[in-house]
Amino acid sequence: MKLLEGIRVRDLSRILAGPCATQVLADFGAEVIKVERPGVGDDTRGWGPPFLKDAEGNDTGESAYYLCANRGKRSVAIDFTRPQGQALIRALAARCQVLVENYKVGGLAKYGLDHASLRAINPALVYCSITGYGQDGPY
């Protein structure tokens, strides 16, 4: 049994700090589901080289960085700018213990996916918002 086995994490983060944080949670046994943009995914999928090679030795377009920072996670594509996507995120948040995001301060409020909105659905939710400049700055 791993330390965080049974803990469900929903990862709405991208690029660096959030994916690295949730990767550590996955390493310790948490079930992490990463939410990515449909058709595009996390920006870092295409960062490279180096890229993962296929069976013939050709680049797949999946960057080594992306694969490392997101190892041990499952991934789902959800467009949370649309009402149907927002409903899916709320359903995921209702059934998890931890949600991690790294959007601009207040950026998810316009979709009803901010701390207050999701805690209303799941009062026990640990909501982790990672920003580069704190929670009360202009960024």
Domain ranges of the chain: 8-37+74-129
112: which 2 tokens?
């009803």
The pLDDT, as a whole number, for residue 5 is 98
Superfamily of segment(s) 8-37+74-129:
Crotonobetainyl-coa:carnitine coa-transferase; domain 1 (3.40.50.10540)
Distances (CA, A) of 78 to 38, 49, 50, 70, 123: 6, 27, 27, 17, 23
Answer whether 0.75 is exceeded by the pTM. Answer: yes
Q: What is the DSSP letter of 15?
A: S
The tens-digit pLDDT sequence of the chain (139 residues) is 899 999 999 999 999 999 999 999 999 999 999 999 999 999 999 898 888 999 999 988 889 999 999 999 999 999 999 999 999 999 999 999 999 999 988 899 999 999 999 999 999 999 999 988 888 866 6
